[in-house]
Amino acid sequence: MSEIAPAVIHRAPTGFIRKWIFSLDHKVIGIQYYFLALLSVFIGMTLSILFRLRLAWPTEAWPLLGKIFPVGFEGGPMTPEFYLSMVTMHGTIMVFFVLTTAPQSGFGNYFLPIQIGAHDMAFPVLNMLSFWVTFVSLSVMVSALFVQGGAPISGWTAYAPLSALGQVAGPGLGLGQTLWIISIALFCIGSLLGALNFITTTINLRTKGMSLMRLPLTVWTWFTTAILALLSFPVLLAGGILLLLDRLGGTSFFIPGNLVVSDKAIAHSGGSPLLWQHLFWFFGHPEVYIAILPGMGVASQLLSTFSRKPIFGYRAMVYAIFAIGMLGFFVWGHHMFVSGLSPYSAIAFSLLTLTIGVPSAIKTFNWLGTLWGGRIRFTAPALFALGFVSLFVSGGLTGLFLGQTSLDLMLHDTWFVLGHFHMIMGVAAIFGIFAGTYYWFPKMFGRMMNESWGKLHFFLTFVGVYAIFLPMHIMGIMGHPRRYAQATEFKYLAATQPFHQFITIATLITAAAQVIFMVNFFWSLFKGSKAPENPWESTTLEWTVPSPPPHDNFGEKHPVVHHGPYEYGVPGASKDYVMQTDSPNS
């Protein structure tokens, strides 16, 4: 049965519902995930603007907002509880439904099968299920905003015991927190189904000639990310079950004895809030890499393409990706240095954390090596890839401050931490998403995005995010703790108020700049110029098929791969790049 024409497994659907809603096609599912993330990022950004207003002008009443959120603006200014619920929902929605969803499930679903020469994922039905479970999860999460008491106020980390106690601990910790936990549990299940699919597909469905060392680096990062998800989400699920039982089943896993909250004695006894922190961060740290690794893959792919040079040190890149992913499982304790952790384990966690700097530095060095001497084409996707590297370095360096115990004692839970993780896990990953969007939009939708608007969007956003997140580091060093709704209440924080106002103004401008992206996106979707098959002169397999690719990607035949993924500037070649499927002698 070697060379007969393959039967198409699930034929191209004809009805609207089978084609666009309950689709089995990995490309449609990828687009569904992408739009889910786009909706989520809009919600998350709106929430951040709301709480930024409170931070900059804490006593200002907002009559218009008061009409929309009567509970949150009782008596004029935003209540501190409402502020906390906004912060919680912003963090949760951004981390789970944007940073985990868009780069991995969105782009990964769309491009992993095409880049390895497969017709679809290994299990299309599971793939569809994973999207719809994620969709239900998002719906449950958003519904927490509208229930009695509002959204939870426990932060995206939902630290016990407050998250375990119910309504008595504060508004939003009743039904809102329960919905939050259920949503996260559903998200875990959806991610597990997706991870299963990604790993199986990468191992089993590679086309002829696509050896492991010929995989595009994007595939390596999606694959590694899937392994991280497969092994870390179950632990979050375990924590979520325990937390739910503490709230609904009367158990005391996380609730210590002799607790008095809101002047009420709590009946539970004997539990440990630290247990939640261990379970949460065992998931939480790999989650950081789940968010950032796909961005690294996109940056590698784009920097090589747009500097017209092979990626510098392909093998080192692959090993670095894996090293970062695996080390990520052994560093969760660095989130808990101030929790009374034994100093010996703190030292171990600290050393392992700083070790991650080595593969990260290898990657950064290789990106710079790739750019060195290249004929760089400064297109919009290339700019965002460069921006990714810049933000990755800026955010990564502050990780060295937080990763060792002595400085962390002072910086823990301050705005320094917010600046750090927003730089590296937040906007660096977002830049990875933007880079991927500008780069792959022609392939996904068959039309080009507008370059000039893309560049304008890049420069405004790039300057904007630095304006937002750099001052946070200084505020942290000044001692400003996170989660405070109002710095003006404290004399020693009075000097930080101008920073808050500056950041809020920068936020408003940067958020407005995203309108440029949205207009460009939707305008190009319908009116952009038709995209050719390979507009960027890239080498990987997705650029060998029409834009957008047909239902079964490669039609009747499987591509055969003869080349590595990044063969640019090959001496003696007729053009300055060699496609992976070009004949061996070209």
Residues 230-249 that bind other proteins (CB under 8 A): 230-235, 237-239, 241-242, 245, 249
3-state secondary structure at position 261: strand
CB of 509 to other proteins, least distance (A): 38
Residue listed under structure tokens 């981390």: 95
Among 455, 482, 483, 558, binds other proteins (CB under 8 A): 558
Residues in the chain: 586
Give the one residue of 44, 294, 310, 432 binding other proteins; rule: CB under 8 A: 310
**Contact present, 443 and 543 (Cβ < 8 Å):** yes
Which stretch in 141-149, 224-232, 424-432, 515-523 sits in contact with other proteins by CB under 8 A? 224-232
Contact between 272 and other proteins by CB under 8 A: the answer reads: yes
- According to CB under 8 A, which one of 25, 561, 579, 581 is a site residue for other proteins? 561
- Answer yes or no whether residue 569 interacts with other proteins by CB under 8 A: yes
Residue 89 vs 160, nearer CB to other proteins: 160
Name 265's bridge partners: 260
Minimum CB distance to other proteins smaller for 123 or for 135: 123
| Smallest separation (angstroms) from other proteins to the CB of 561 | 7
Residues 119-178 that bind other proteins (CB under 8 A): 119-120, 122-125
Nearer to other proteins, 253 or 388 (CB): 253
Interaction between residue 323 and other proteins (CB under 8 A): no
For other proteins, the binding residue among 250, 260, 340, 344 (CB under 8 A) is 250
Give the binding range for other proteins (CB under 8 A) out of 337-345, 437-445, 484-492, 559-567. 559-567
Query: CB–CB of 117/561 below 8 Å?
Result: yes
Least distance in angstroms from the C-beta of 280 to other proteins: 11
Report CA dihedral (481, 486, 487, 489) to the nearest 10 degrees.
Answer: -120
Number of H helices, E strands in the chain: 19, 2
3-state secondary structure of 264: strand
Is 39 an interacting residue with respect to other proteins (CB under 8 A)?
A: no
Neighbours of 418 (CB within 10 A): 19
Peptide bond into 565 cis (omega under 30): no
Region of 163-171, 174-182, 449-457, 562-570 interacting with other proteins (CB under 8 A): 562-570
Binding of residue 265 to other proteins (CB under 8 A):
no
- Site residues for other proteins, window 386-445 (CB under 8 A)? none
Q: Is 52 in the site for other proteins (CB under 8 A)?
A: no
Contacts (CB under 8 A) with other proteins, residues 185-204:
192, 195-197, 199-200, 203-204
Instruction: Give CA–CA dist 419/398, Å, rounded.
Output: 9
φ, ψ dihedrals at 34, nearest 5°: -65, -45
CA proximity to 119, closest of 218, 24, 192, 226: 24
Query: What is the biggest distance separating any 2 CA atoms in the chain, rounded to whole angstroms?
Result: 80
Instruction: Please give the residues from 496 up to 555 whose contact with other proteins meets the rule CB under 8 A.
Output: none
Between 270 and 340, name the residue whose CB sits nearer to other proteins: 270
279 vs 288 by CB, closer to other proteins: 279
Q: Is 303 in the site for other proteins (CB under 8 A)?
A: no
Interacting span for other proteins (CB under 8 A) from 61-69, 304-312, 449-457, 490-498: 304-312
Alpha helices in 413-552 (DSSP H): 415-421, 428-445, 451-477, 497-527
Nearer to other proteins (CB atom), residue 81 or residue 567: 567
Taking contact as CB under 8 A, which single stretch among the options 55-63, 118-126, 436-444, 523-531 is the one that binds other proteins? 118-126
**Token digits for 558?**
């499987």
Is 233 in contact with 191 (CB distance < 8 Å)? yes
Q: Does 208 bind other proteins (CB under 8 A)?
A: yes
Per-residue binding string, other proteins, 338-377, x by CB under 8 A, is -----------------------------------xxx--
Q: How many residues bind other proteins (CB under 8 A)?
A: 81
Instruction: Report the first-to-last Cα separation within the chain, whole angstroms.
Output: 30
Angle subtended at Cα 369 by Cα 368 and Cα 375, rounded to the nearest 5 degrees: 90
Which residue lies nearer to other proteins by CB, 251 or 514?
Answer: 251
| Cβ(164)–Cβ(247) below 8 Å | yes
CA dihedral 202, 205, 207, 213 (to 10 degrees): 20
Half-sphere exposure of 13 (CA within 13 A, CB side): 13
